[in-house]
Amino acid sequence: MRGPGFFWLSFWTNPAGRTLFVTLNVAAIVWMFFVLYAVQRASLDRSVLAGARQSAVGGGRGACVVGLVPTLAGLDATLTAINDEMAVLPLGLSRILGITTHLGIPPELPLYMLAAGVVLLTLGGLLLGAAWFAGRNAHK
């Protein structure tokens, strides 16, 4: 009932536990971006736009990469390649059922990640433009 073996057994066989784990990880990532914004704002003593811009651009790049690779290569093929290296699931399972089918992962998930990345990058670009425009007009 303890140790890494139990964690992986519980993770792959308990959908509610897996959902809770993924939800907590996403919340931790969102918190990380908030902390990044707060630290940049405090340490650089810049405007609110500077920290938000850096957070949006950094998060957008990461989400785009994480969404683009499986979108281009295929989600099942990407997860199978990762599983072949890490051997988290039984090795034949991904070949027989397909990881996305076995775990109930929606096949459009990489597109959602890519869309979130594009939204964050667009927000960062708009904030960058607003900061540039505000700085340009401040000197007049």
Residue 140 has pLDDT above 60, yes or no: no
The answer for 47, left when phi > 0, alpha when psi is -120 to 50, beta otherwise, is: beta
Share of the chain above pLDDT 70, in %: 82
Mean pLDDT for the stretch of residues 4-20: 84
Q: Which amino acid is at 44?
A: L
The answer for 31, left when phi > 0, alpha when psi is -120 to 50, beta otherwise, is: alpha
**What are the tens digits of pLDDT across the range 124-138?**
778 777 777 776 666
Q: Domain of 65?
A: 4-138
**What are the tens digits of pLDDT across the range 65-90?**
888 989 898 888 888 888 887 777 77
The predicted structure's pLDDT at residue 87? 75
User: What total number of domains does the chain contain?
Assistant: 1
